[in-house]
Structure 1
């Protein structure tokens, strides 16, 4: 999926299941994809995370980046980076991995239709053991 097709606002719904203790989390909110002057695409999410009888606001910012630093990326040449510029993973519909300390994120972007797409992560290691699925749908 060409990241330029993501420009605009998307609704997201995220389900997280912690396999260590069985806790289930649910997050929903808005994801905004906006072009930056340097060619990057800002991916900013704001929403609410809920579990049991609790809730808290959540937000994060990632970037979709294309260029020389993405030379090893799949044919699209795009990568996802954290807000501080650290590399996260290639932007591809193929399986990807990201080491976070001794924990491993194994994931995949599933393009879906033009107005719906999904990201799935299986996270395992000494500090983490959870599954996370986020569904994005074009906001109306």
Structure 2
């Protein structure tokens, strides 16, 4: 991929609604799944954004409703974010001031390695590689601004 789209303030940039398309590949078994839905970044009292993702996840031909909630709080450096799970546990940092960011999240015996790229003002992508004793996954999510 060539150029990235720098974002001066990640929280300002993400606010609003995004069409969300995710592919999930199990690199060990070859199984694939996909998620399609909407992610809404709404204002949190006291600053930051509440990310609410909802849609349908299809795995091995079986569709199921799926949702996820994350908190995007102001980060230690202006323009960055501290991403947390809904219950407040730390997830990862996020700095898109260059248009690209890489981060890790250890989860029990697994390691989540994420790369975030901003493609333009209305599109961004996350790629998570998950490795561990029982996981070998690649999750690619494309976001496109609604409206």
TM over 0.5: yes
Measured in 2, the distance between the counterparts of 1:109 and 1:75 equals 18
Name the structure 1 match of 2:4: none
Aligned pairs for 1:1-140 within 5 A:
1=7, 2-66=10-74, 70-71=75-76, 76-92=79-95, 93-140=100-147
Q: How many residues align?
A: 135
Gaps of 5+ in 2: 1-6
**1:111-139 deviation line (CA, Å, top 9, x unaligned):** 11010000110110012110000000011
Equivalent position SS for 1:21:
coil
Measured in 2, the distance between the counterparts of 1:50 and 1:26 equals 5
Over 3 Å off, 4+ runs? 74-77
Measured in 2, the distance between the counterparts of 1:51 and 1:86 equals 27
**1:55-100 deviation line (CA, Å, top 9, x unaligned):** 100000001111xxx43xx663411100000111111232100000
Measured in 2, the distance between the counterparts of 1:118 and 1:33 equals 15
Name the structure 1 match of 2:3: none
Contact map agreement 1:63 1:82 (CA 8 A) in 2: yes
Q: TM-score, normalised by structure 1?
A: 0.90
Measured in 2, the distance between the counterparts of 1:113 and 1:96 equals 21
Higher relative contact order (CA 8 A, sep 6+): 2
